[in-house]
Structures are given as structure tokens and as C-alpha cells.
Structure 1
Amino acid sequence: MTTGTVHTKPLVVMEGISKNFHGFYALKNVDFNLSEGEVHVLFGENGAGKSTLMAILAGVHRPTTGTIKVSEQEVAFHSVHDSKHSGIGTVFQEFSLVPTLTVAENIFLGDEPLKNGFLDKTRCLKEAEGYFKRLDFDIDIRKKVSELSRAEQQMVEIVKAIKADAKVLILDEPTASLTDKEVAKLFEFVHGAKKKGVGIIYISHRIQEFREIADRITVLRDGELIGTFNLNEVSDEDLIESMAGRAIAEIYPPIIKQETNTPLLLLKEFQAEGLQPITLEVKSGEVLGIAGLVGSGKSRLWRSIMGLYPATSGTVLKDETDLFRKATKVLVKNGIFYLPPDRKEEGLQLLAKTENNIKTNVLFRKDILSKFGLVNTARQQSITKQASQKSDLKSRYLKQSAADLSGGNQQKILFAKGLVSQYDIYILDEPSVGVDVGTRSGIYLLIKELTEAGKAVVVISSDLPEVINLSHRVLVFSKGHITAELEGDQITENNILSNFF
């Protein structure tokens, strides 16, 4: 593969960038550059160093070694403010919004328009509304951020960066929480920004998006630069091999549906706020895919079953036991594992060590206690180690806090928590959100293994190819109810999309 070159004015030049965290090198002598009017993709597995490199450019971290030039001037950022002052706008995966303020107030936070020394609310609302109309994002700017969905919060972050009129825009997994329609609007904005000479650094694992917007791609692996390539000169297969250091022949493994296929969970006229009465079965030895737009109720149903949202009526039967309105820990003890879509807010104790995050779920096992009622710590440690190995978590991460790991490795912790006990039903809500192709492939192999061992696996996903390629049966949600049940050859993109509305 040939190294890519772009012959326009350079906006950013980073040379010899290394970053050491407590004796561990997250980056080793990395070079990166961005030109005017270019979309430059950063690609690599979770933990490859992409976010660390961009955190340095955004002023969050200072490099251990290396130099940075912005518009041909050498800079040394000591803060995020320094980076913004140099014309660099950033939309990270971790949002920087104030939940108690409205959308409009967040957009102008720190740069409030004044009139006679007081906040000009009229101008604030009018200008904020204009920014959202420009992107055709449909959001009530008077709402508090705490009332928004994650996808809507993502839109607010993007608008904040646009408002700053940045000449360099860093987008870190910007489409992870967006619908197809919202992604299309974002790409329209990206193309328009390119024409105005804005340089865009685009971090994503969604390789299918690159061909639509990108000019060049830089691949990182284990904190090192593998290469920078013109996108029109490299195949998807070569990019994946460069990223992973190995060929990934098949992302979606064939999953054999088990013949027993008995109902493990039965919902009868189950209802919660925002949901119409729902009746369905979850069967052993199959993958049940759940598809729908944001706000369709596809996640709310399962979260209500798990006691995370209040349910109003109905029946939730497992092994002839009614678990309706039972506490989450009761459902877990009855063999139901739920993997939440937001690993940081709900899935992990970020300040705890990786091994301690996993060990907490080991305590749900009946065989972990000695005859005197004490925890068998040696057995707990052994089970934790086995689960982490099965989830492809490297042993060196076990002693690190969850907060210090990449998003993909954090997702592996969640799966390890689900593998330490003998659950019958696995409810996976956006199981591959924000993870790279290699990690995604590993997650799908785990789903295959669980299903073929006779477990029931529910995959709730906004990623249509994921639903289509993994599922034996698909339920399509729209406006709080099931609009279609598809099986086998019926599971197609057209059949799913036609039932979204």
C-alpha cells in the first residue's frame, strides 16, 4: 500500500508524538498531519492510541515528546482553552454538556450573548435554533440536556463545535448514537465544511462510512503508526488487516440455531410508560434481534423488564416464576444478564480495577461460598481470570482501573461479567457500540458460543447489518409496539426498514 499525500496547505502537523502514562506508552513516535478541506480518518483497534493522540491535539494531555504545528506555527497546548483558541473544535465520545442547563444555554456556555450587561435570551434562542436548522437536527432547544436521548446530546455537542467556527474539527465516533437520517445530515455538514477549507479528523470504527466522506486514513496499532494511505488506493480488507495485524476473514460467524429452542422467557401483555401492551417469547438456542429507530421503545421494553424503568402491567414469566416488577438483582439471580448500552454510566465502576468489576458478578454464583458461608477468594479469582481470557481481555489490564482502558476493553469487561455465572438469558443492548472491527468480531464469536450452548441471546441494536447477520428471528419496534416479526429469509434490510414507521 502506498503512503498517502495531500498537496494543500497544512493545518496540523504532529511529529514524533509519544505519550507515557505511569510507565506505559500509549503512543510511540507517531506522525500525523491534516490539510485544509480534508477529512482524515484515524483508524485502529480500541487502545491503539487514536483518542490519546487527539486528546493531545485538543489540549487534554501534553505529549511526553514530539512537536505540534497549527497553521505552520509551533504550539504547546497547556489546556483545552489553548487548543480552542488555536481554532480546534472537538466532539469527544464523552460529552461535556451541563445536564441541568437547556440546549440553548449549553450552546452558548462561556460565550453568552449580552444586552446591557445581561444575558440576551432572545438572541441566544434565535441563534441556537439557527445552528440546529442548519444541520436539520430536530431538537427542542428549550429542553434541559438531562431530558435528551444520547443521540440528541451527540447532536448538541456537534452544534457546539460548529458554533465555535473551528478550522480543525475532531469528531470522535460521531455517528455511534445517530440514526441513518441523522448520519446523512451530519455527512452533508461534513461535505459543506470541507468546501470551506475546514480540516476534519474523523475517528470511527465504521469502515463503511469512510468511502462516503474521507480523503486519507491513518492507521494506528498498539500506539504506533502503521501508515497513512489515500483512501482510493486501499481496500477495506487491507485496512482491517493493517489495523488488527491479521486478516479477519469473517466478521459475522454462522450461528447454528439449536433444535430444542424452548421458551425461556414469556411476556404477556407487558406494558410500561411509552409502550403498548407487548406479548413475546424469548427462546433458548437462538439470537432474537431487536430493531427500531431511537425512541421506538426497542430498549425501553427490556430496561423495563429488568426494573430499570417502571412497568405498569403484565406478566414476565421465567421457569413459571413471575418476575414482573421484581428488583434488578432478583432477575439477575434468576438467570437473566443485561448488558447496558452506556458502559460508563451503567455498566462499570470506573474507578475500580478491572478484576474487581468482574468479581462483583462472581458473587451471584451459589458455588462461590464455602460451607461456612465465606467467599472462596481463590475460586473467585480463578473464575474472574477465566472469564477475562474468554472475553479476550489482556491480563495486564486486570490490575488497571476500568476508567484507564479504551472503550473496546471496557466493553470486554461487561462481557466478562456476563460469563462468570451460568445465565440462561443474555440481553445485549447495543453490544458493539464504539468498538473496533477486531473487538466486534470477538463479541460475535461470544454470541455464537452462548447461543450454540443453548442460551437465549437478545441483541438490541441500531446497527442493521448486525441485526440482520446475527439474528434467527427479528422483532421490529415502532412507536412503542412490535410492528413485525421476521424469521429466516424474511430478515432483510427492506423488510426491517419498511416497518420502522
Structure 2
Amino acid sequence: MSLIETRKLTKRYPGVVALDAVDFDLAEGEVHVLFGENGAGKSTLISMLAGAKAPTSGDILLNGQPVAFASVADAQAKGIYTVFQEFSLIPTLTVAQNIFLGWEPCRGPFVDHRAMRRRAAGMLGELGFDIDPNAVVAGLSRAQQQMVEITKAFHGDLKVLILDEPTASLTDREVDHLFKFVLSLKRRGIGIVYISHRIQEFIRIADRITVLRDGAKVGTVPMADTDDAALVEMMTGRAIDEIYPRIDAAPGAEVLKVEGLRSKGLHSASFTLRAGEVLGVAGLVGSGKSRLFRTIMGLLPRHGGRVELLGNDISDASTAQIITSGLYYLSPDRKAEGLDLAKTSNDNLGLNLVMGDKLGKGGWFVNWGAVRRETQAISDHVELQPSYRTKPVSQLSGGNQQKVLFGKCFGQNAEVYIFDEPTVGVDMGTRSALYLLIKELAEAGKAVVVISSDLPEVLNLANRILVMAQGRLSAELTGADMTEEQVLRFFFDESGAVV
């Protein structure tokens, strides 16, 4: 008998079927992955399992018995807890206060803070989380906040834990810790529903995988009987070799030259970049691959070395001057650095057009008609649906937010485009569209840098690969040396070898 099961679960909105008669089941002690593109129905399904939404039709069964959740709290009381991408923690409260929010132990009419701290420490210790219960949540790393969020699930008799993109912002070490914890939950008989776009994680953690597409179930397969290529084809309807485009661009003249660049945690990096080239930059989280290019952009202080763009020294230029001179940087954190979430996609693109001077200032006045026309053209170009263009960016999916972020680069007259983790948290279909934009830039003679923790992405897009390890350029790979084995070989090598 399944721990939790859905039968023909359906959710309709006016004019839209978000989930169409989906059957899903989870066994005790199982990690069952939900896989699919943005808009496939994953979030809709888990929102109903979590009690956040009610189904239009269909059934949810818990331990074989039909159940209807009146609220998230009702689902939690029945043993189902969800850790969403956006945590429900209150940043100004302590760890203990967040864990016991709504469950506060009392002594008479007053909250017993000493007992709350003691019990919170016990819960954290039992789960293997080394976190001070007196620490304020705002001062914790994202991984630690996730641990606090998970700890909240253990007030009652936890049966099902739903994890929504749990590794999206974690380092490799933090991911290892999370996976060890998940395996410990499996041994306790807890069922885990796991949602992720990181297909390379599945072999480490999944027992079964259910693929959704356009709100419908494509199929459920045991992890032992499938592979990445089969899953991608189930998800997108296309073979994996159709995801990565062939880029027909021959590297031309040198546009960027970096010599002996140093910063905190960055040791004497030197390389060049040519027009029409796609340069891949690979390395573990914390290797310095982002730090290198944030230093080039003036976002981090430079301690030494030289940067030349088109033969001009920009080493001491401000970030604004560097952008104006022809460097575009796409941040890996679209919410904190890349987009104004309160504004619409049209507003975000329009602002970049004005600031990037693509249309010309025309004195003190802005030709807003031209801005609107160009904004519409860019939105069409990145395949952003018209209905999304006037919505606040905060209301768009991660994939559509990333399309807006990519669209902003077309508002700049840049010669070098630096894309830092360009597809983080983005489904394979959207990735394919973004890869075509990278192809277009390179074939137009622009120099492109792709910094990525996704090794297949780097291997399939780049003409040349730089590998970073512990703040140093450990290798430069070209031609036949651009293999997964060679890249991994230099992940832990800081000798600065060049192959």
C-alpha cells in the first residue's frame, strides 16, 4: 500500500488545465522525483499534496484512505510537510523561535523561552544539524535556513517530506550533507517527494521518477532502468542532442585580455578572449570562477593585475564605466542582482534600453515610443509570451524570469557577454531557447563567456574551457581535451597547468 497516492488528480483554472488526471504514488522510505519543465504541473501537484490548493477533481489517498486537506496546517497535522523554494521563515526571529512558531511551549500564560531553546537544540542535534538555536535566521546561510525549515517538519509524526528545488542555491558540500540527511529519512520510513531540474542528482538519490509535461503525466520509471537522455526526451519530446545547438562561429580578433588578475581568493589569473568565441568556465562551487569575472566587472576589489578591453585598460574603471565600454554581465542571482521583481518585464527591459543607450539619448529626452517598440521586439526574440510582459516579474516562473534577464542583454551595445550560471533553476526546454540566444550572439561576432556548474552545458557550448580550482586557473582545455574526464581531473588541481 502506498504512503500517499493521487488518482486522476486535476486542477482547472479559467481557460487552463494546470494538472490533467495525474496518477502518482509514494511508498514508505522512497525518494520519488517529480521532473518536468516549468509549467509542467509539478508545483500544482505538490501544492495540492501540501494542502495549499484544493483539486478540481480526483482523489488524494493517505495510507489508502481518501483525504481532503483544508489547509497547509491540516496537511502538516496529517504528517505531510513541504519545504518550498521560498522559505516560510521570519528572518528577524531566532532559529528556536522559527522552529516553534505556533508551537511555543508555555509556562502559565508566558512563553517558556528556555524550554524552547532546549527543545530546538535537541531537535537540531537529532537531525544532525549544527546550528545555534539562538542565532537570528537572517544571519544564516541558505543551506542553514533550509535545515531550519526542515526541522519545523518534525513537530508531529512526519510521514511525507516534499522538497522543492532543495539544492538550487547550495554548495557541493551542502548538497552532500542534504543527501545524507535524505537517506537517513528513507531509513526511518519517511517518503520524500523531490523536485529538481538537476538531472545529474537523480542517480544519487532517486528510486523512481515521474515525468510531467503540459500538466499531464508522461510516465513513471525506476531510476535503475533509465538515463539522462531518456528522461530529457520524456520531458521535452526531443532527444538530448537536440537541446544543445551547433555554434558555427570562428574565433576572430582578441577583445579581452586579462593578465595576473588578483583579488581576495583569486590568484594571478591570465587569459584572453576572442570575438565569436564561446569560452566555458568550469569549477566546483567556491572555486573562484564567478569571483574571477566579478573582479573583471569591478564588482569585487582588484588587488593586482590588468584588464584590457579592445586594447583599452579598464583595470581601474568603475562597474558603470566597464558596462558602458562593452562588457555585459548576467548575474547568477536574478532576484537579488538581475531583475527588479516589483516591475514588469517590459519595465525591466525598457530600463536597460535607456541605461544601455542602445537607442541613443536624443539630448535630455527619451524616445519612449522607440523604447516600447524595441522592448516588444526583444520580448518576441526571447519568446516571452505576451501575457507575461505586463505582469510583475515576481509573478513569473523561474524560466520566464531568466528569459527577461537574457532579454536585457539585447538592450546593451556590448562586445563581451558574460553569463554566470545562465540556466540555474531553469527547465530543459527553456535552456534550449537560451542556448539558441548564446549561439546567435557568438555567430554575430560577439565574445561569450559561459560560467557554469553544469558540466554538460560547458562541454556542449564552448570552443575552449577554463577550469578553476581553489582560486586559480588550473587548466585551459581545447579540442579533443575538452572531455568530462579532463575537466574533472583539474577540479582539484591548482598547479595552473595548460593542456
> Is 1:15–1:67's contact at 8 Å kept on the other side of the alignment?
yes
Match of 1:4 in 2: none
Q: Show the 5 A alignment for 1:147-296.
A: 147-150=139-142, 153-154=145-146, 157-158=149-150, 161=153, 166-231=158-223, 236-256=228-248, 258-262=250-254, 264-296=255-287
Aligned partner of residue 61 in structure 1, secondary structure: coil
Alignment of 1:66-465 (within 5 A): 66-100=58-92, 117-120=112-115, 121=117, 124-125=120-121, 127-132=123-128, 145-150=137-142, 153-154=145-146, 157-158=149-150, 161=153, 166-231=158-223, 236-256=228-248, 258-262=250-254, 264-324=255-315, 326-369=317-360, 371=362, 373-465=364-456
2:245 counterpart letter in structure 1: P
After TM superposition, give the deviation of residue 260 of structure 1 in Å.
1.4
Contact 1:37–1:199, Cα closer than 8 Å, also in 2:
yes
CA distance in 1, matches of 2:29, 2:76: 19
Q: State the identity %.
A: 50
Distance apart, 1:201 and its partner CA: 1.0
Cα shift at 1:411 = 1.1
Is the CA contact 1:45–1:436 (under 8 Å) kept in the aligned structure 2?
Answer: yes
CA distance in structure 1 between the aligned counterparts of 2:113 and 2:132, rounded to whole angstroms: 23
Cα offset for 1:160? 5.1
**How far does the alpha carbon of each residue in 1:431-465 deviate from its partner, in whole angstroms, 9 at most, with x for none?**
11111122222222322222232222222222223
2:10 is aligned with 1:17: yes
Q: 1:268 to 1:183 in 2, by over 3 A?
A: same
Q: Distance in 1 between matches of 2:136 and 2:475?
A: 34
Q: Alpha carbons of 1:150 and 1:298: their partners in 2 closer, same or farther (altered >3 Å)?
A: farther
Compare 410-419 and 287-296 and name the one that shifted more.
287-296
Q: 2:492 aligns with which of 491, 494, 498?
A: 498
Deviations 1:404-439 (A, max 9, x none): 222112111111111233321111111111111222
* Structure 2 match to 1:39: 31
**TM-score for the superposition, normalised by structure 1:** 0.83
TM-aligned CA deviation for residue 103 of structure 1: 5.8
Contact 2:277 2:463 in 1 (8 A): yes
Q: CA deviation at 1:236?
A: 4.6
Unaligned stretches of 5+ residues in structure 2: none
Per-residue deviation at 1:47?
A: 1.6
Greater shift in the superposed pair: 307-316 or 458-467: 307-316
* Partner deviation per Cα, 1:280-334 (whole Å, 9 max, x = no partner): 4333222222233333322233234334344455543323444445443333222
Change beyond 3 A, Cα 1:91–1:496? farther
Task: Name the stretch that deviates more: 228-237 or 354-363.
Answer: 228-237
- 2:480 aligned with 1:489: yes
Query: Which TM-score applies when normalising by structure 2?
Result: 0.84
Between 375-384 and 436-445, report the one with greater CA deviation.
375-384
Q: 1: distance between equivalents of 2:131 and 2:118?
A: 17
| Preserved contact between residue 113 and residue 124 of structure 1 (Cα < 8 Å) | no
Question: Does the C-alpha gap of structure 1 residues 242 and 497 become closer, same or farther in structure 2, counting only changes over 3 Å?
Answer: same
The farther-off stretch of 406-415 and 208-217 is 208-217
Worse-matched range after superposition: 487-496 or 225-234: 225-234
CA distance in 2, matches of 1:249, 1:259: 23
Distance 1:130 1:500 in 2: 38
Unaligned runs of 5+ in 1: 1-7
Q: Matched residue of 1:349: which SS?
A: coil
- Distance, in Å, in 2 between the alignment partners of 1:298 and 1:182 is 18
Distance 1:306 1:98, change over 3 A: farther
CA distance in 2 between counterparts of 1:99 and 1:346 reads 20
* Alignment correspondent of 1:3: none
User: Partner of 2:322: helix, strand, or coil?
Assistant: helix
TM-superposed deviation, 1:59: 3.2
CA RMSD of aligned residues (A): 3.4
Change (3 A) 1:474 1:111: farther
Shift of 1:170: 1.0
Amino acid at match of 2:348: N
What's the CA shift string for 1:106-144, capped at 9, x where partnerless?
5565556789933254664465345336xxxx8788765
Residues 119/270 of structure 1: CA separation in 2 closer, same or farther (3 Å cut):
farther
2:41 corresponding residue in structure 1: 49
The alignment covers a number of residue pairs equal to 488
Cα distance in structure 1, aligned partners of 2:207 and 2:381: 37
Query: For 2:241, what is the secondary structure of its paired residue?
Result: coil
Q: Which amino acid aligns with 2:124?
A: A
AA of the residue aligned to 2:127:
Y
The answer to which of 47-56 and 240-249 deviates more is 240-249
2:445 aligned partner, one-letter code: G
Give the C-alpha shift of residue 242 in structure 1: 3.2
Change (3 A) 1:476 1:242: closer
Does the aligned pair in 2 maintain the 1:476–1:500 contact within 8 Å? Answer: no
**C-alpha spacing 1:281/1:47, structure 2 compared with 1 (3 Å):** same
Task: State the secondary structure of the residue aligned to 1:382.
Answer: helix
- For residues 25 and 335 of structure 1, the distance between their equivalents in structure 2, rounded to whole angstroms, comes to 45
User: 1:108 and 1:150 mapped to 2: Cα distance?
Assistant: 19
Which moves more between the two structures, 310-319 or 441-450?
A: 310-319
Q: 1:336 is matched by which residue type in structure 2?
A: L
Relative distance call for 1:475 and 1:387 in structure 2 (3 A) is same
In the alignment, is the contact (CA less than 8 A) between 1:292 and 1:298 conserved in 2?
A: yes
Q: Distance in 2 between matches of 1:139 and 1:281?
A: 44
Distance change >3 Å, CA 315–CA 221, structure 1 → 2: same
Question: Does residue 475 in structure 1 map to residue 466 in structure 2?
Answer: yes
Q: Secondary structure of 1:364's match?
A: helix
Deviation, 1:55, is 2.3
Q: Which amino acid aligns with 1:206?
A: R
Distance 1:232 1:351, change over 3 A: same
In structure 2, give the amino acid aligned to 1:131: L
